[in-house]
Structure 1
Amino acid sequence: MQTSPHDHRGTLAAPLAYEAFLALHRPHYLAYARARLGPTGADAAVTGAFAALLCRWPGVISSCSPAAQAWQILSRRVRAHAGEPPGRTAEDVLAEDVRVLMSLGYDAEHSAGLTGVPVGTVHSLLRRP
C-alpha cells in the first residue's frame, strides 16, 4: 500500500514529529505569549510561530537543538507582535524570556527544555542584572 503525504482533505499533512512537538509545546508557548501580549495577540503570535516552524521543519528537526530553533522563532514572533524593535543581543532576549517563564512558575529545568538551552545557561541568565 502506498502512503501519501496528503491528508484526507487533499492538503499537505504535517509530519508526525511536528504534530507531537506542537502538542507538547503549544500550551507552554501560549502561556509565555499571553504573559507578554495578552490573550488576543498571543494566539496570533503562537499560530504564526508554528506556521513558520512547519515551513522550516526539516532543518529544525535535523538541527542539534530543535527546541532552541523553535523558541527563537516564537520569541521573534512575540517580540514582533509586541512592536519591539530588533537590535537586542540574543543573550539579552533569552534572559528576558527565561525571566518571563520563571514568573509563570516554570523551574529552571523546564525553562531550559522549552528554550532549548542547557540548565546551566538558564541559571547563568537568571544571575544577570
Structure 2
Amino acid sequence: MPTRPHRRIDLTALYDLHRRHYLSYAELLLRADAAHRAVDAAFDTLAESWQQILSTSSPAACAWQAVRDHVRALADPAYLKPTDHLDPGQQDVFLLHTVLALPVSVIADLTGAEAATVHVHLRACVSAPARASIAHPRARRTPFG
C-alpha cells in the first residue's frame, strides 16, 4: 500500500512550513522570548517520538497539539479569559482566525484538522458582533484591535 504524502513529511520541513504561524499563536499568549522557547520545546518533544507520530493519521495535528500544550502550559490564564466559554479546538480556531486573521485553509493545514471542522468551530464560537466586541489582551496587534 503506498504511503500517503503527509506521512512522509519531515519534522524539519513541518517546522519550517508552519514556524511563523506557531510563533504568532505563541506570541498571543506569551512574551516573544517565551514563545520561541515554547515552540522549540514542542519540537524537541516531537523529535523524540517522530517515527511513531509518522504512523498517525495526521502528524500536523500531533505537532499542533504539542505546540498548543507547551504554549498553554506557560500562558497567563487571563489571556484566555475572553474565550473561556469555548472548547480548546474552538479557542484555537477563534485565535487563529479572528485574532491572527489566518484563512480557514491555513488553519486546517496548521492544526491538521479538516477545513469543515474549522468551519464548524468558527460557527460555534460566537456571533460576528460578539466576536468583534471581545477584547483579547493582545488584540491591539490585529485588525480587530
Q: TM-score range by the shorter chain?
A: 0.7 to 0.9
Q: TM-score, normalised by structure 1?
A: 0.77
* Whole-Å separation in 2 of the counterparts to 1:83 and 1:104: 19
Look up the match of 2:28: 35
* Whole-Å separation in 1 of the counterparts to 2:120 and 2:89: 11
Q: Does 1:124 align with 2:117?
A: no
Look up the match of 2:58: 65
Alpha carbons of structure 1 residues 77 and 62: separation in structure 2 relative to 1, 3 Å: same
* Whole-Å separation in 2 of the counterparts to 1:27 and 1:42: 11
Identity within the alignment, %: 40
Structure 1: give runs of 5+ residues left out of the alignment: 1-15, 85-90
Q: TM-score, normalised by structure 2?
A: 0.69
**Structure 2 letter corresponding to 1:37:** L
3-state SS of 2:28 partner: helix
**Structure 2 letter corresponding to 1:81:** L
* Whole-Å separation in 2 of the counterparts to 1:72 and 1:117: 11
* Whole-Å separation in 1 of the counterparts to 2:94 and 2:31: 17
For structure 1, which segment, 112-121 or 94-103, has the greater mean C-alpha deviation from structure 2 after superposition? 94-103
Cα offset, 1:61, TM superposition: 1.6
Structure 2: give runs of 5+ residues left out of the alignment: 1-8, 78-85, 127-145
Cα offset, 1:38, TM superposition: 2.5
Figure out how many residues of one structure are paired with residues of the other and give that number.
108
